[in-house]
Amino acid sequence: MTERRSNVIWFMVDQMRGQALGANGDPNVFTPNLDNMAIAGTNFPNAVSGYPLCCPFRGSMLTSRYAHNHSVKLHQDRLDPAYETIADVFNQHEYETIYLGKWHLAGFKEHEGRTVLRTIPREDRGRFSTWLGYENNNSQWDCYLHGHDGDEEIPHFRLPTYETDALTDMALERLAALSEQDRPFFMVISVQPPHDPYMAPAEQRRYQAQQLTLRPNIPQTHQAQARFDLSGYYAQIENIDANIGRLMAGLRESNLLDDTHLMFFSDHGDQLGSHGRFGKCVPYEESVRVPFLIGGTIPMAYDGRRAGNAPCLVNHVDIAPTTLGLCSIDVPDWMEGFDYSHRRTGLNATERIALEPDSAYLQLIGDRESSYAWRCVVTRDGWKYACVKGGEWLLFNLNDDPNEQNNLAFNTAFRQKRSEMNALLRQWAEKTGDQFEFPDP
């Protein structure tokens, strides 16, 4: 008898920082379903966004290539269909491949008109067998999808409710149908929340701005705006958590839970006032740390010791290889990331853990005509170093200074450590073929 192959669901959110989980220590947010995933599944609290900006991250997520090695180097760049993606690999292994929600890889420009209403050509839909999505939309209560379902082309239609709720409804309908077939599936649910504007359904709008505990690195002058934004941000996250609960219940009711890995992650974080900044695109913790959880099926090799927190630095290029590893599919040579599936399955764990990278490479390529670009390296033992073109920028000891309030980059007492981190960053650049003007160590 042939053993049934595992299914995988990516539940991907936009702009949720890794700190904003109860399981990761946030004192404000209510995330019981995600916290249960962290306890019963595997939590990667040190996961990072190798490019904290929507489009380049998504290009790396699908191709397992760093942004300088694919076509989405800047915001609103197009992913060239010539690049192979994880969908191609799953298609080759006869998986049903399904994409629902935000895409942001067609190269459409917001200044040319509202992109959620534009039609993405079929060749730009990543070769998923079903693709019902949109390019970009910063209006969670007014969202439109289009695409194809198998051979049938689907014209634009408006989601009837709040985006995260509606996309989860669509996923649950799919699961009911998928449970009736023997073919395994790879499904992506990609939602815009908790991206700004920070609006959520009324039942989750219970976070009082003045009662929130703020991060200590938010300047006094930015605290009022941070409180206002965070009250909606946390409400959106609570709604996401409720939909994760619905999805888990749907998997259980469809008898798919034992065969399905549910992966939850974000493309990048959100400063929300920390260091006097809002948004992303900087190498500070609030921008580059992302939630990353794997739950669902209990692996055959599970023995109770491999659940809980995994200290590895999962990066954007690692998502595709890890997903394939969960399904026991060989990782193709063109993927640049590392397969961390052993942290969930326990298979060959001892030898695989010994091979895990002890650091992660982060970047912002920046505008072609601008000097705003940086490279960053984060180590598993708690150091972070970032530089701009030809100049030093940041050096933090995250063990002693988790809120990054003491920049050591220009402290002469840490000259040796800065030199070591500079060398490590150059090694990553050489390994990945990244051309950048690093400062002299």
Residues 181 and 310 in one domain: yes
Residues 190-207 have pLDDT tens digits of 999 999 999 999 999 889
What is the model's pLDDT at position 1? 32
What is the model's pLDDT at position 307? 54
Average pLDDT over residues 418-438: 97
Q: What share of the chain is helix, strand, coil (3-state, %, to 5)?
A: 35, 20, 45
What is the model's pLDDT at position 371? 52
Sheet holding 144-149, edge to edge: 152-158, 144-149, 130-134, 96-102, 185-190, 7-13, 260-266, 292-296, 42-43, 308-309
Helix-helix angle 54-63:319-326, to 10 degrees: 40
% residues pLDDT > 70 (the chain):
96
3-state secondary structure 198-265: CCCCHHHCCCCHHHCCCCCCCCHHHHHHHHHHHHHHHHHHHHHHHHHHHHHHHHHHCCCHHHEEEEEE
Contact 174, 129 (CB under 8 A): no
Average pLDDT over residues 51-55: 97
Nearest alpha carbon to residue 20 among 275, 225, 291? 291
Residues 228 and 129 in one domain: yes
Instruction: Establish if 2 belongs to a structural domain.
Output: no
Contact 296, 262 (CB under 8 A): yes
**Residue 2 pLDDT class (50, 70, 90 cuts):** very low
Q: Final residue of a domain: which of 355, 388, 423?
A: 355
Contact 189, 101 (CB under 8 A): yes
**Residue 298 pLDDT class (50, 70, 90 cuts):** low
Instruction: Establish if 74 belongs to a structural domain.
Output: yes
Residues 54 and 125 in one domain: yes
Residues 341-378 have pLDDT tens digits of 999 998 999 999 999 999 999 999 987 545 589 999 99
Q: What is the mean pLDDT of the chain?
A: 94
When mean pLDDT is compared across 149-158, 203-212, 239-248, the lowest value belongs to 203-212
Q: Final residue of a domain: which of 305, 336, 355?
A: 355
Residues 248 and 392 in one domain: no
Side-chain half-sphere exposure of 234, counting CA atoms within 13 A: 25
What is the span of the domain harbouring residue 381?
359-432
Average pLDDT over residues 14-29: 97
Average pLDDT over residues 20-35: 97
Question: With the C-alpha atoms ordered 368, 370, 371, 373, is the resulting torsion angle positive or negative?
Answer: negative
What is the model's pLDDT at position 304? 45
Residues 101-118 have pLDDT tens digits of 999 999 999 999 999 999
Residue 338: exposure state from Cβ atoms within 10 A (0-12, 13-18, ≥19) = buried
Contact 73, 366 (CB under 8 A): no
Average pLDDT over residues 307-320: 91
Beta bridge partners of 48: 289
Residues 373 and 277 in one domain: no
What is the model's pLDDT at position 368? 57
Instruction: Establish if 156 belongs to a structural domain.
Output: yes
Beta bridge partners of 198: none
Q: Final residue of a domain: which of 328, 355, 382?
A: 355
Residues 337 and 390 in one domain: no
**Residue 5 pLDDT class (50, 70, 90 cuts):** confident
What is the model's pLDDT at position 308? 73
What is the model's pLDDT at position 58? 98
Q: Which residues of 200-217 are buried (b: 16+ CB within 10 A; e: fewer)?
A: bbeebbebeeeebebbeb
Instruction: Establish if 343 belongs to a structural domain.
Output: yes
C-alpha separations of 391 from 180, 283, 371 in Å = 58, 15, 11
When divided into structural domains, the chain yields a total of: 2
Higher per-residue pLDDT: 124 or 4: 124
Instruction: Establish if 166 belongs to a structural domain.
Output: yes
Instruction: Establish if 11 belongs to a structural domain.
Output: yes
What is the model's pLDDT at position 237? 98
C-alpha separations of 22 from 19, 121, 186, 377, 386 in Å = 8, 40, 28, 27, 29
C-alpha separations of 225 from 181, 198, 228, 405 in Å = 50, 12, 5, 20
Instruction: Establish if 424 belongs to a structural domain.
Output: yes
Whole-angstrom distance, CA of residue 303 vs CA of residue 318: 24
Whole-angstrom distance, CA of residue 360 vs CA of residue 379: 7
What's this model's pTM, rounded to 2 decimal places? 0.96
Residues 244 and 369 in one domain: no
Residues 13 and 160 in one domain: yes
Residues 345 and 221 in one domain: yes
Residues 368 and 350 in one domain: no
Whole-angstrom distance, CA of residue 5 vs CA of residue 180: 15
Query: What CATH number corresponds to the domain at position 373?
Result: 3.30.1120
What is the model's pLDDT at position 4? 66
Whole-angstrom distance, CA of residue 316 vs CA of residue 125: 20
Residues 212-247 have pLDDT tens digits of 999 999 999 999 999 999 999 999 999 999 999 999
Query: What CATH number corresponds to the domain at position 271?
Result: 3.40.720.10
